[in-house]
Amino acid sequence: MLLNEYGIIAHTDNAGALRKNAIACVAFNTCPLALAEGQRYLPTLISKLEPILEKHSMHNDNIVMRMTGCPNGCGRSPNAEIGFVGTAYGKYNLHIGGDRLGQRLNTKYKESLNEEQILTTLDELFGIYTREKKKTKHLAIFLTANGFCSMIKS
């Protein structure tokens, strides 16, 4: 089987929960509507988020993350617990609180963040989540229940 021969099965089995749940649109260079990267950048971002997840003991949490290179949302970022919508090259709006079952869309939390700002913001949110969660199993439920999804932060 080719998947075994080229190590795809082993790579997938060893991937973290966030990486397995992530989706991105094609964005640059394929889509003429793209304002930012999608599928070419999301794996890099996840690699930078994995140590942060480890720091907060969230590396096994099944967080749904999606990225799209423009507001059209081909990567279905509005449905994600953490969604990114490209606004310019290297800049993304951060949306949080979507329901993994598709029954609630996420809301914009911060606008036009660069990579450093994304990592800092998610580190802060993950820290609050791990310190304050009680019986909440999913990040999106916690963020929504605690008012993080009700206003845009600058």
Domains of the chain: 18-145 (3.30.413.10)
- The candidate with the shortest Cα–Cα distance to 42, out of 62, 59, 18, is 18
Residue 154 has pLDDT above 60, yes or no: no
DSSP state, residue 154: -
Residues of the chain with pLDDT > 90: what percent? 71
Instruction: Supply the pTM of this predicted model.
Output: 0.91
> Distance between CA atoms of 46 and 8, rounded to whole angstroms?
18
Cα 14 to its chain centre, rounded Å, is 19
- Give the tens place of pLDDT for each residue, 85-94: 999 999 999 9
What are the Cα distances from residue 38, in Å, to 32, 135, 150? Answer: 13, 33, 26
Q: What is the structure's pLDDT at 141?
A: 87
Cβ 27 vs Cβ 34: under 8 Å: yes
Q: What is the structure's pLDDT at 151?
A: 59
- Give the tens place of pLDDT for each residue, 77-125: 999 999 999 999 999 999 999 987 778 899 999 999 999 999 999 999 9
